[in-house]
Structure 1
Amino acid sequence: MHRWLAPTRIAFGLLAAVALGVAGHRAATGATGVVDFFSYFTNLSVMAAVVVLLAGGWAGLTGRRPVPGPVRGAVVLCTTVTGLVYGLEVAVYPVALMIPWVGHVLHQVMPLVMLADWLLDPPQRRIRPVQAVGWLAFPFLYLAYALLRGWAVGWYPYVFLDPSRPCGYGRVAGACFVTTLGFVLVGAALMWAGNTLGDRRAAGSDTPPRGRRAHARTT
């Protein structure tokens, strides 16, 4: 791992934590409310990214075991899709929380940071397809939560999940299908990139590769 990567991870983790704190305070003291603040996929994804970055940075500085590749991959997938969806203007962040620099950090900076971190420091062990499929667990749980809570309280965090809009549940189902397809395609690309770059790093290293990658190279 590059020597500068550990402090860089900590720096971006702290930046994201501050941005979330500012947005959370504004939500708690305004009309949005704390529960709604924690109901946005963006906020939850960036919270997970903060934990991964700080834990990874601390591990790099102290020589501790790094964050497992499958865990990192799940968070990278969520933040990357968040950035793509926001870039396509499908998901609109609430005006009450949209402090310009906060929105920039959460929707643009952090997805790029997490993707770059994955590519610069690919997982030490190959990501298996079953692990990549497991990355979809949180998005599906979030979708169930958002729809059930929306049905109960009449509020949905994103417009494309609101069945009261034109075309109702048919439009919601279509949006969910397209979003799921996006998660699958991005997840497959992340798995391929992580495994390919990890193999190249192992091949160019003087130390023997670890785990399943080692087994694959010795058979």
Structure 2
Amino acid sequence: MHSWLAPARLAVAAFLAVALCFSGYHAATDVTGVVNFFSYFTDLSNLAGTAVLAYGGWAGLTGRRPVPDAVRGAVVLYLAITGLVYGTLLAKYPALLVIPWVGDVVHRAMPLVLLADWLIDPPAGRVRPVVVLGWLAFPLVYLVYTLTRGHAVDWYPYPFLDPARHGGYRRIAGACFLLMVALLLVGAAIAAVGNALAAHRDARQGGAPRGRHTRARSG
């Protein structure tokens, strides 16, 4: 691992934590509320990104075991989808960007940062297809939670999940299917690129894949 990567991860994690604190405080003091703040996929994926970067930076500085590749890849996927969904579906809803600079950080900057982190420090071992399928579990649980809670409290975090809008549940079913397909395709691409970069790194370093303990000591 590059010597500068660990402190860079910690610095980015600290900045993202500040941005999320600003957003969380704003939500807690207006009509949004704390529960609704934690009901946005954007906020959850960025909280996960903060944790992965913070622990990854700390592990790199102290020689601890790094964040498991399956966890890192999942967070990269969730943030990538956050950026893609925002860019294609949500950017036209300015009300979602209550604090514009925070919106830019969580929707635009962080997906690119986590993807860059994955490319700079690719996985230690091969990411298997079953792992990619496992990455879909959290988005599925989130969709069930969002639709169930939304029906109970009449609040939905994103317009395309609101059945009161044109098309109702038929439109939502179509949107959810497309999201799952996008998650699977993007996840497969993230795994494939990570595997290719890892193979190139291992070939350059002598052909033997690095193990977990080797990565931990390299930080």
Do these two structures clear the TM 0.5 threshold for a shared fold by scoring above it?
yes
Moved over 6 A (4+): 91-94
Matched, 1:163 2:156: no
Q: Matched residue of 2:98: which SS?
A: coil
Instruction: Give TM-score scaled by structure 1 length.
Output: 0.92
Deviation at 1:65, TM superposition (A): 1.0
**Secondary structure in 1 matching 2:52:** helix
Superposition pairs of residues 24-173 of structure 1, within 5 angstroms: 24-90=24-90, 95=95, 98-173=98-173
Which ranges of structure 2 fall in alignment gaps of 5 or more residues? 213-219
CA displacement 1:158-210 (0-9 Å, x = unmatched) = 11111111111110011111111110110000010011100111111148323
Partners of 2:173 and 2:92 in 1: CA distance:
19
% same residue: 61
Note if contact 1:126-1:195 (Cα within 8 Å) is conserved in structure 2. yes
Contact kept? 1:92, 1:158, Cα under 8 Å: no
Task: Spell out, residue by residue over 1:98-139, the C-alpha distance to the aligned partner (whole angstroms, 9 max, x if none).
Answer: 211111111111000000000110010111111111001110
The CA RMSD over aligned residues, in Å, is 1.7
TM-score by length of 2: 0.92
Highest RCO, 1 vs 2 (Cα 8 Å, sep ≥ 6): 2
Q: Would you say how many aligned residue pairs link Structure 1 and Structure 2?
A: 212
85-94 vs 201-210, greater mean Cα deviation: 85-94
Matched residue, 1:217? none
- Look up the SS of the partner of 1:88 in the other structure: helix
1:31-50 Cα deviation digits (max 9, x unpaired) = 11001000000000000000
Q: 2:217 aligns to what?
A: none
C-alpha deviation, 1:97, in angstroms: 5.6
- How far apart, CA to CA, are the structure 2 residues paired with 1:183 and 1:154? 27
**Could you tell me whether the CA contact under 8 Å between 1:26 and 1:97 is conserved in 2?**
no
- How far apart, in 1, do the equivalents of 2:26 and 2:94 lie? 11
Partner SS state of residue 197, structure 1: helix
Distance, in Å, in 2 between the alignment partners of 1:70 and 1:92 is 33
1:178 corresponds to: 178
Task: Tell me how far 1:89 sits from its aligned partner.
Answer: 3.2
Distance 1:86 1:96, change over 3 A: closer
Instruction: Show the counterpart of 2:216.
Output: none
Contact preservation (8 Å) 1:91, 1:159: no
User: Partner of 1:15 in structure 2?
Assistant: 15
SS in 2 for 1:95: helix
1:205 alignment counterpart:
205
